[in-house]
Chain A
């Protein structure tokens, strides 16, 4: 039983169920998630259990309940979640917990007898059986699977710990004697802030001029930043930016690009155009609403230029997008010259007047300003008047044009009637013949019309059919392409997830390999197998002994039987012989009597010995029974039941009193 208990307690420790003091030693080997799980319920309850819990006999009720609850949580989280692993002080709550635990165990498929008494008034064999069942149910593979997420952070923590230990181990070295690595560790003078410079990356595409520039004049990337220390940061930043743009583009293409069913280039163009339109709309809305016929806005040429630039840059590829900043910059640069010109004009104007005194200048300027403003107002009024005139004139012009149109239409109608009347007049002299000819003509044209209609029908039929057919084909092709697009998207998704999975697995493999290397080579597995083999050997030896004893017993029985038979036979022969002689001789008769007495006494003796043996066996049986009953702690349990009963009554009384009170 000791072996069984040891194995049981070990597996309980491994699953994180159980006794903090016992767990303390192999804590770091416990899979992290299980450790966390065991901590989850309560912050490491410090139980007053002696460290040397070696057998189930030493388990207290709290310990049993905690072990079972934690096992249940690991086996079946939903079952165990509702159970607290700390025994509550109230008796009724304890009974409830016991009952729900028993129920949970039965739900898991425990065959044996289980009830609240199993947990609250435990006896060793029952608890052993129950815990064995639970430990059997503990998920094994799960422990290894769940290790994965924890493994990464654990590995990182271990690496950090190793690094800290290493750094704590290195002594402090004066700055002058440091190697570069030490300088980095213990000093600050090597540190340079992260300064990145924009880099121009040469590529083998684009217009000829650019390629010429790349080939002939562009220095290699490492020579581009003005400071030599900035090479690495610049490259890193550029690379990170490229990667980010690539990811953006991929995400965009996956979500919208594929659905638009355009080739990538066209999609990019379409996107740029849309962006441009939206930008234009925004700018139009944002611009202050001046008179529609007013002078062009000062920003307008810039806008046009900017949009031109934008559309020119739009064909550059996917990566040319998303530079709102550069656009703003460009805008600012475009405005700069104008501002400059304005400032220069102002300067030119103020230059000659700078010779006169300031006041004069001011007065003159004010006058000038007033004059100019007056003129401006006059001109504006004039312009308005002229504009009104122009509008009136335009209106009358359009009216005249409309009249002209009408007149021309009327003229055309009149000319037509004139022609018909003239023709009729010409035909009037030979009316009959002409009428016939005309009728003939009408009939001919009607026939031709019918013929043409028939012809049209013959032509139209197949064309319409073809049209319908083509439309159906187009429809089906569209469906097909939708399906394909969906397929492609699914494939993309699949590929991406597969790649991620592969990467994850590779990482895991590497990490596990390192972990394997770290692990001690003499794993307990060998020890376990050895122990199992030992146990098996022991059992075999015992079995042999038992068979030996059994055969001994059988031989003994045989011997006894033989001896009894021999005795009986000998006695019968002797009896007969002596009986024959007894009739003749008195002394022989006496001898016969003695013989009979001897025989009887001996058989009595044998009977007594046999009885003594049976009694001894019975005694042993009874002793065993007493021992097993003693193991059940019946007396203690009874006492506890009694005290619990008293506590329960007290609680009930308190509750009753409380319910009566108000």
Chain B
């Protein structure tokens, strides 16, 4: 974990008890967490009465710095000792570090969920249905007599069927191959978890 100069300067201002009184610190900290975690509260209340007498530029600077610091800590899955080290570097006193850490612990799960939800991943298969098809002849071949499997993988769709189900047809060998590969994958997972 590393913090940029901008963030460090913001945190240093925040650590200054002459600039931020304990109550103002608490309010700003909570506001920063709220602004990150509550997607609905887009109008952040930096106009709390306790924060009235602080220069708005400084206030916004500190807010941005704290928010970045929280996000970085969540990104690196920093534990308490790491966070304290970084905050100590920014001249935080023990009390404020403690406060930051408790607040961080309280919101850690939500933060992880929010950070974890950034990105994309392959579709989740929830079910599979299949049927056996037997080809007797085609217009090119008089007799083929070949079985084929029609497989449909049901994909998890919560938002208005944006992903259609995956369906394909395959021969017996291909299906066996697929099943074998799936088994291999499952076994690999098992093995990986045995480390």
Complex interface: chain A residues within 8 A of B4 (CB): 239, 242-243, 246
A168 touches B189 (CB 8 A): yes
Report which residue of A162, A193, A215, A220 has the largest number of chain B beta carbons within 10 angstroms of its beta carbon.
A220
Q: Which of B107-137 contact A (CB under 8 A)?
A: 109-110, 113-121, 123-124
A214 to B2 CA separation, bound complex (whole angstroms)? 26
A184 touches B42 (CB 8 A): no
Among A158, A189, A232, A243, the residue within 8 A (CB) of B158 is A189
Q: Contact flags (1/0) for A154-166 with B, using CB distance below 8 Å?
A: 0001101110110
CB distance from A214 to the nearest CB of B (A): 5
Whether A242 touches B67, Cβ cut-off 8 Å, given contacts A160-B192, A214-B60, A223-B42, is: no
A203 to B39 CA separation, bound complex (whole angstroms)? 25
**Could you tell me how many residues of chain B have their Cβ less than 8 Å away from some Cβ of chain A?**
52
B195 touches A221 (CB 8 A): no
B156 touches A242 (CB 8 A): no
A191 to B115 CA separation, bound complex (whole angstroms)? 10
A190 touches B117 (CB 8 A): yes
The verdict on A188 contacting chain B, using a C-beta distance below 8 Å, is yes
Whether A215 touches B123, Cβ cut-off 8 Å, given contacts A187-B158, A191-B117, is: no
A211 touches B123 (CB 8 A): no
CB distance from B22 to the nearest CB of A (A): 21
Q: Contact flags (1/0) for B63-106 with A, using CB distance below 8 Å?
A: 11001100110010001010001000000000000000000000
B120 touches A214 (CB 8 A): no
Among B67, B75, B156, the residue within 8 A (CB) of A221 is B67
By secondary structure, the B interface counts as helix
Whether A222 touches B195, Cβ cut-off 8 Å, given contacts A231-B35, A231-B36, A235-B68, is: no
CB distance from B182 to the nearest CB of A (A): 15
Complex interface: chain B residues within 8 A of A229 (CB): 39
A243 to B68 CA separation, bound complex (whole angstroms)? 12
CB distance from B94 to the nearest CB of A (A): 19
Among B36, B56, B123, B124, the residue within 8 A (CB) of A216 is B56
Q: Contact flags (1/0) for A65-104 with B, using CB distance below 8 Å?
A: 0000000000000000000000000000000000000000
Complex interface: chain A residues within 8 A of B46 (CB): 220
Q: Contact flags (1/0) for A493-520 with B, using CB distance below 8 Å?
A: 0000000000000100010000000000
Complex interface: chain B residues within 8 A of A186 (CB): 124
Complex interface: chain A residues within 8 A of B40 (CB): 228
A220 to B68 CA separation, bound complex (whole angstroms)? 13
Complex interface: chain A residues within 8 A of B61 (CB): 201-204
* Interface range, A side: 35 or more
The verdict on A467 contacting chain B, using a C-beta distance below 8 Å, is no
A223 to B72 CA separation, bound complex (whole angstroms)? 19
The verdict on A192 contacting chain B, using a C-beta distance below 8 Å, is yes
A228 touches B194 (CB 8 A): no
Among A181, A193, A221, the residue within 8 A (CB) of B119 is A193
Complex interface: chain B residues within 8 A of A246 (CB): 4-5
Among A165, A201, A214, A228, the residue within 8 A (CB) of B42 is A228
A204 touches B58 (CB 8 A): yes
CB distance from A226 to the nearest CB of B (A): 10
CB distance from A270 to the nearest CB of B (A): 22
Complex interface: chain B residues within 8 A of A216 (CB): 56
Complex interface: chain A residues within 8 A of B117 (CB): 184, 190-192
Q: Which of A342-374 contact B (CB under 8 A)?
A: none
B158 touches A191 (CB 8 A): no
The chain B residue sitting closest to A242, CB to CB, is: B4
CB distance from B55 to the nearest CB of A (A): 7
Q: Contact flags (1/0) for B14-52 with A, using CB distance below 8 Å?
A: 000000000000000000000110011011101000000
CB distance from A498 to the nearest CB of B (A): 15
Among B67, B113, B158, B159, the residue within 8 A (CB) of A222 is B67
A161 touches B192 (CB 8 A): yes
CB distance from A44 to the nearest CB of B (A): 16
CB distance from B9 to the nearest CB of A (A): 8
B116 touches A221 (CB 8 A): no
A164 touches B42 (CB 8 A): no
Q: Contact flags (1/0) for A303-347 with B, using CB distance below 8 Å?
A: 000000000000000000000000000000000000000000000
A188 to B118 CA separation, bound complex (whole angstroms)? 11
The verdict on A233 contacting chain B, using a C-beta distance below 8 Å, is yes
The verdict on B11 contacting chain A, using a C-beta distance below 8 Å, is no
The verdict on A528 contacting chain B, using a C-beta distance below 8 Å, is no
Among B44, B55, B68, B124, the residue within 8 A (CB) of A188 is B124
The verdict on A218 contacting chain B, using a C-beta distance below 8 Å, is yes
Report which residue of A191, A215, A221, A506 has the largest number of chain B beta carbons within 10 angstroms of its beta carbon.
A221
A246 to B8 CA separation, bound complex (whole angstroms)? 13
B67 touches A164 (CB 8 A): no
A195 to B78 CA separation, bound complex (whole angstroms)? 24
The verdict on A236 contacting chain B, using a C-beta distance below 8 Å, is yes
The chain B residue sitting closest to A214, CB to CB, is: B57
A239 to B64 CA separation, bound complex (whole angstroms)? 10
The verdict on A175 contacting chain B, using a C-beta distance below 8 Å, is yes
A246 to B7 CA separation, bound complex (whole angstroms)? 12
The verdict on A289 contacting chain B, using a C-beta distance below 8 Å, is no
Among A203, A222, A239, the residue within 8 A (CB) of B35 is A222
A199 to B115 CA separation, bound complex (whole angstroms)? 19
Complex interface: chain B residues within 8 A of A191 (CB): 117-121
Complex interface: chain A residues within 8 A of B58 (CB): 204
A192 touches B118 (CB 8 A): yes
The verdict on A45 contacting chain B, using a C-beta distance below 8 Å, is no
A229 to B117 CA separation, bound complex (whole angstroms)? 10
The verdict on A657 contacting chain B, using a C-beta distance below 8 Å, is no
A190 to B114 CA separation, bound complex (whole angstroms)? 9
Q: What are 6 A-B pairs with beta-carbon distances under 8 A?
A: A188-B124, A201-B64, A218-B60, A223-B42, A223-B44, A242-B6
Counting from the closest, the 7 A-B pairs by CB-CB distance are: A222-B35, A161-B195, A189-B158, A242-B4, A165-B193, A164-B193, A228-B39
Interface residues of A (CB under 8 A from B): 157-158, 160-162, 164-165, 168, 175, 180-181, 184, 186-194, 199, 201-204, 211, 214-216, 218, 220-223, 228-229, 231-233, 235-236, 238-239, 242-243, 246, 506, 510
**11 other A-B residue contacts (CB within 8 Å) besides A164-B192, A202-B60, A239-B7:** A161-B194, A168-B193, A189-B158, A189-B159, A191-B117, A191-B121, A199-B64, A221-B60, A231-B36, A236-B68, A242-B7
Interface residues of B (CB under 8 A from A): 2-7, 35-36, 39-40, 42-44, 46, 55-58, 60-61, 63-64, 67-68, 71-72, 75, 79, 81, 85, 109-110, 113-121, 123-124, 156, 158-159, 189-190, 192-195
